[in-house]
């Protein structure tokens, strides 16, 4: 009877079910050990660390690490900029942590056109181009708050020129026309280039008038200016920042002509005399 039972179909089927159940229990009991189901770790904070130190810390906790790169001009090279998952996340060991690090060499970027923009707009465009604001130079000008020039390494840079991200850009910004008075600069006897440089440096706007035949503009001389440097009492005339000055240029004016125009004998200039002078 027992042999018949053991050889019966029902007995064999029951035995198969029992074996399947046994292996099912053993498999799922050991699954957590095989997959590390209950092995978790907190993701440490490796932001702003050197990539070598960050990778070592993560690998010691059992994580895999993949590294990508971006560029942030205010950060040191090879520093961790961001990470996924975030710091403090509970993650299975063996999973991959994705790090974004700062590039060792800055990529090139085209210089944007900042002239004629407001100072605030220029800063936003600089930041979007991954460039850094260097010095800000204020210059008397009607366009108060507007960018007049953009400089790189002390020289004017043209929009579209390729420069490294993170480069410092100096902006020359209009400061308006203040009510600041000064003595009228004396440019009589200077060459045209010298006189224009002096007037621009004083925040004045020269209007240039060429008189007679000019054979060599580089050696032509400013022989008259309006307002004149001095009034009839030989006291310096005064002028405001941002005002316009006429300068008249000849090829070879005489010394008498220069002196007569520097101290007009019979003409009272409209500019106010210096009150500090006797």
Using DSSP, state whether 169 is helix, strand or coil: strand
Give percent of the chain with pLDDT exceeding 90.
47
The H-or-E segment that residue 221 falls in is strand 221-226
Residue environment code for 160-194, b if the CB has 16+ CB neighbours within 10 A, otherwise e: eeebebbbebbbbbbbebeeeeebbbbbbbbbbee
Domains 108-174 and 181-262 share a fold: yes
- pTM recorded for the entire structure: 0.46
Instruction: Identify which of 11-15, 110-114, 263-267 has the greatest average pLDDT.
Output: 110-114
Q: Are 40 and 91 in contact (CB under 8 A)?
A: yes
Res. 145 pLDDT band, cuts 50 70 90: confident
Residue 97: name the closest of 46, 139, 36, 38 by CA. 46
- Calculate mean pLDDT across residues 154-175: 93
Architecture of domain 181-262: 2-Layer Sandwich (3.30)
How is the chain split into domains, by residue range?
40-102, 108-174, 181-262
**Nearest 10 degrees: CA dihedral of 184, 189, 193, 196?**
10
Q: Please state, in angstroms and rounded to a whole number, the distance separating the CA atoms of residues 276 and 278.
A: 7
Average pLDDT on 93-104 reads: 91
Give the integer Cα–Cα distance in Å for 134 and 137. Answer: 10
Which pair of structure tokens corresponds to residue 158?
């043209």
- Judge whether 93 and 42 are in contact, CB under 8 Å: no
Give the number of other CB atoms < 10 A from CB of residue 99: 21
26 has a pLDDT exceeding 70: no
Q: Give me 102's structure tokens.
A: 């700062």
Residue 269 predicted with pLDDT over 70: no
Q: Tell me what pLDDT residue 41 has.
A: 84
Is the pLDDT reported for residue 240 higher than 50? yes
Q: Any long-range contacts for 44-47 (C-beta under 8 Å, 24+ apart)?
A: 44/87, 45/87, 45/88, 46/80, 46/83, 46/87, 46/99, 47/80, 47/81, 47/82, 47/83, 47/87
Please list the residues that pair with 92 across neighbouring strands. 40
Closest CA relative to residue 138, chosen from 246, 239, 208, 242: 242
Topology adopted by domain 40-102: Trypsin Inhibitor V; Chain A (3.30.10)
pLDDT at 160 over 90: yes
β-pairing, 205-210 vs 244-250, is parallel
Output the pLDDT for position 96: 92
What is the pLDDT averaged over residues 223-250? 88
Which of 3.40.50.1820, 3.20.20.70, 3.30.10.20, 3.40.50.300 is the CATH number of 108-174? 3.30.10.20
The dihedral through the CA atoms of 253, 258, 264, 269 has a sign that is: positive
d(CA 247, CA 200): 13
In degrees and rounded to multiples of 5, residue 111 shows phi and psi of: -65, 125
In the structure encoding, which two tokens stand for residue 140, read together? 């008397």
């Amino acid at each position: 009877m027992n042999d018949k039972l053991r050889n019966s179909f029902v007995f064999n089927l029951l035995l198969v079910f029992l074996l399947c159940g046994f292996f099912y229990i053993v498999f799922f009991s050991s699954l957590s050990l095989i997959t590390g189901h209950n092995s978790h770790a907190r993701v440490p904070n490796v932001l702003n660390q050197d990539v070598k130190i960050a990778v070592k810390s993560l690998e010691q906790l059992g994580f895999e690490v993949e590294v990508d790169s971006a560029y942030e001009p205010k950060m040191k090279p090879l520093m961790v900029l961001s990470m996924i998952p975030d710091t403090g996340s509970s993650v299975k060991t063996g999973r991959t942590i994705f790090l974004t690090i700062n590039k060792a060499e800055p990529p090139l970027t085209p210089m944007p056109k900042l002239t004629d923009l407001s100072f605030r707009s220029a800063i936003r465009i600089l930041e979007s181009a991954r460039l850094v604001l260097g010095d800000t130079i204020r210059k008397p000008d009607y366009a108060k708050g507007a960018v007049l020039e953009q400089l790189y390494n002390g020289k004017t840079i043209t929009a579209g020129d390729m420069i490294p991200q993170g480069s410092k850009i100096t902006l020359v910004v209009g400061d308006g026309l203040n009510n600041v008075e000064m003595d009228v600069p004396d440019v009589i006897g200077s060459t045209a280039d010298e006189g224009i440089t002096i007037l621009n440096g004083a925040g004045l706007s020269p209007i240039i008038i060429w008189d007679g035949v000019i054979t060599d503009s580089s050696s032509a001389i400013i022989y008259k200016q309006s307002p004149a440097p001095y009034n009839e009492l030989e006291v310096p005339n005064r002028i405001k920042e941002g005002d316009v000055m006429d300068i008249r240029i000849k090829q070879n004016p005489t010394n008498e002509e220069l002196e007569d125009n520097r101290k007009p004998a019979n003409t009272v200039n409209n500019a106010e005399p210096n009150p500090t002078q006797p």
